[in-house]
């Protein structure tokens, strides 16, 4: 039977492997690390005494690749969030609170309701949204979005969460794709969802269980150090650490679902986006579960603060700071001291003494999502049908998110299935 070797067990690799196994294809999944998940991982933190994620990943109900993947692996109930679209915010300078609440249908009547739209949202923002949907390849979000009050109170938090880049650097086109698939489809596609227990519990462990139940081979802790080639330019074998080679038969396929830096090592001629953008996360272990600013909504956006978002899961309050290259160089204790008063104010807690905290710095959280880098994202089929590419850095048309990762894996799997 033809076998597909999936190299890399992050979200793109898991997505590809699950799609192949669902179609009845023999699959071997290779991962250099001792556990799967890539940048979507969880671990037990001894100091905090609980399981924490490496970072916070927000999913929207309109993310169809996420929905399909979780339904396949039997984990659809492991994302939680409000029954209706609602994203709360608090302005740290003024204390003002509001929530963005798109109505369920496509006709956006929520924009004329002061109780549902961001403060100051007006026709300039509507016009900017139209310009954004028509953005060219060289456009940045800073060029297209208005400079009024909604820039800081709505657009900046949204862009930082999705693009992990400041407005003046962030490419417009991937953000436009997100708006088409979420806000343009109404509130039914905009419900904010987070992992119920952990990222591993939601995305990783059920996927590995599904692969095991469908006969896939999962090889953790095995690094692919190189590729061997035939005289006709097709990939002939995978070279493992230790020198072992795994040959590919004439009908076998390989999907390279690794970070861009590893892809460049294995494929020196492969175009990859240049540079990385950091995300800093701080996990606070509270004495007890904090009340949600809006009941049923496990997050709040902070405006005018060092922290950008706070996510709540039981007695854990997790802070995310995006586009955090500079902050990633700051010592952990100073980061905690800077963000805890903001978290306490947002949640109505005592700011006098910070609770136990763990700082997690993901210096390579995403590639730099600039217009220049969009042109360097290769298609899945760049190397033909025997060697395919996957990863949120490939040409998905979307930002570097879980949705983009899973969609890239599914695209590579579809190409492998179409050609053998």
Q: For the chain, how far is it from start to end, CA to CA, in angstroms? A: 10
pLDDT band for position 364 (cuts 50, 70, 90) = very high
Distance CA 7, CA 394 (A): 15
pLDDT at 390: 98
Distances (CA, A) of 260 to 273, 322, 373, 404: 7, 20, 12, 14
Domain membership of residue 150 (yes or no) is yes
Domain membership of residue 325 (yes or no) is yes
If asked whether residues 163 and 226 sit together in one domain, one would say: no
pLDDT at 148: 84
Can you read off the two tokens belonging to residue 133?
A: 């949907």
- The alpha-carbon radius of gyration of the chain (Å, integer) is 22
Residue 254, burial from CB neighbour count under 10 angstroms (0-12, 13-18, 19+): buried
Q: Which domain holds residue 402?
A: 3-32+221-272+376-418
pLDDT at 195: 97
Q: What is the CATH number of the domain that holds 333?
A: 3.90.660.10
pLDDT at 243: 86
Domain membership of residue 214 (yes or no) is no
DSSP H or E run through 300: strand 299-303
Block residue for tokens 């963005």: 100
Distance CA 321, CA 279 (A): 6
Output b/e per residue, 298-311; b: 16+ Cβ within 10 A. bbbbbbebbbbbbb
Q: At 254, phi and psi to the nearest 5?
A: -135, 135
If asked whether residues 258 and 383 sit together in one domain, one would say: yes
Q: Residue 253: which of 18, 17, 35, 34 has the closest Cα? A: 17
Q: What is the pLDDT of residues 42-97, one digit of tens each?
A: 999 999 999 999 999 999 999 999 999 999 999 999 999 999 999 999 999 999 99
Distance CA 413, CA 21 (A): 10
Distance CA 393, CA 385 (A): 19
- Looking at every residue in the chain, the average pLDDT score rounds to 96
If asked whether residues 163 and 310 sit together in one domain, one would say: no
Say which DSSP state 146 is in. Answer: -
Beta 387-389 vs 253-256: how paired, if at all?
Answer: parallel
Q: Coil, strand or helix: which one is 271? A: coil
pLDDT at 309: 97
Q: What is the CATH number of the domain that holds 11?
A: 3.50.50.60
If asked whether residues 256 and 229 sit together in one domain, one would say: yes
If asked whether residues 358 and 400 sit together in one domain, one would say: no
If asked whether residues 267 and 281 sit together in one domain, one would say: no
Distance CA 129, CA 112 (A): 15
Q: How many domains does the chain have?
A: 3
Distance CA 59, CA 173 (A): 19
Percent of the chain at pLDDT > 70 equals 100
Can you read off the two tokens belonging to residue 323?
A: 């586009």
pLDDT at 199: 98
If asked whether residues 265 and 280 sit together in one domain, one would say: no
Domain membership of residue 153 (yes or no) is yes
Q: Coil, strand or helix: which one is 203? A: helix
Q: What is the pLDDT of residues 131-180, one digit of tens each?
A: 999 999 999 999 999 888 899 999 999 999 999 999 999 999 999 999 99
Domain membership of residue 334 (yes or no) is yes
pLDDT at 169: 97
Domain membership of residue 229 (yes or no) is yes
If asked whether residues 283 and 343 sit together in one domain, one would say: yes
Q: What is the pLDDT of residues 202-218, one digit of tens each?
A: 999 999 999 999 999 99
Can you read off the two tokens belonging to residue 70?
A: 């979780």
pLDDT at 232: 80
pLDDT band for position 420 (cuts 50, 70, 90) = low
The structure's pTM equals 0.96
If asked whether residues 281 and 362 sit together in one domain, one would say: yes
If asked whether residues 326 and 396 sit together in one domain, one would say: no
Q: Looking at the predicted structure, is the pLDDT value of residue 107 above 80?
A: yes
Q: Looking at the predicted structure, is the pLDDT value of residue 228 above 70?
A: yes
Cβ neighbours for 112, distance < 8 A, ≥ 6 positions apart? none
């Amino acid at each position: 039977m033809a076998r597909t070797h999936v190299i890399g067990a992050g979200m793109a690799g898991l997505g590809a492997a699950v799609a192949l196994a669902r179609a009845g294809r023999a699959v071997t999944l290779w991962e250099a690390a001792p556990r799967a998940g890539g940048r979507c991982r969880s671990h037990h933190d001894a100091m905090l005494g609980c399981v924490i994620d490496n970072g916070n990943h927000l999913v929207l109900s309109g993310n169809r690749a996420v929905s399909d993947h979780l339904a396949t692996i039997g984990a659809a109930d492991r994302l939680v969030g409000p029954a209706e679209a609602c994203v709360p915010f608090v302005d740290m300078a003024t204390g003002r609170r509001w929530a963005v609440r798109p109505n369920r249908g496509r006709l956006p009547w929520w924009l004329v309701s002061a109780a549902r739209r961001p403060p100051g949202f007006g026709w300039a923002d509507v016009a900017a949204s139209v310009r954004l949907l028509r953005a060219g390849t060289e456009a940045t979000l800073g060029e297209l979005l208005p400079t009024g009050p909604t820039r800081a109170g709505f657009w900046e938090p949204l862009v930082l969460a999705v693009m992990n880049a400041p407005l003046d650097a962030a490419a417009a086109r991937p953000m436009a794709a997100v708006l088409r698939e979420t806000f343009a489809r109404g509130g039914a596609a905009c419900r904010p969802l987070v992992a119920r227990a952990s990222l591993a519990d939601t995305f990783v462990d059920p996927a590995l269980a599904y692969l095991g139940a469908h006969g896939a081979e999962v090889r953790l802790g095995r690094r692919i150090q190189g590729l061997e080639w035939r005289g006709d330019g097709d990939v002939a074998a995978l070279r493992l650490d230790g020198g072992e080679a795994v040959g590919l038969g004439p009908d076998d396929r390989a999907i390279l679902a690794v970070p861009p830096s590893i892809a460049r090592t294995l494929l020196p001629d492969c175009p990859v986006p240049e540079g990385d953008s950091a995300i800093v996360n701080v996990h606070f272990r509270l004495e007890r579960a904090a009340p949600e600013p809006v009941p049923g909504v496990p997050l709040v956006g902070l405006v005018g603060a060092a922290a950008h978002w706070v996510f709540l899961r039981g007695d854990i309050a997790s802070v995310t700071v995006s586009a955090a290259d500079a902050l990633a160089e700051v010592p952990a204790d100073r980061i905690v001291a800077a963000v805890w008063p903001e978290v306490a104010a947002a949640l109505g807690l005592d700011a006098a003494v910070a609770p136990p905290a763990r700082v997690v710095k993901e210096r390579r959280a995403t590639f730099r999502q600039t217009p220049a880098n969009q042109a360097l994202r290769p298609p899945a089929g760049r190397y033909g049908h025997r060697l395919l590419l996957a990863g949120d850095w490939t040409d998905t048309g979307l930002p570097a998110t879980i949705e983009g990762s899973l969609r890239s894996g599914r695209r590579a799997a579809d190409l492998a299935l179409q050609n053998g």
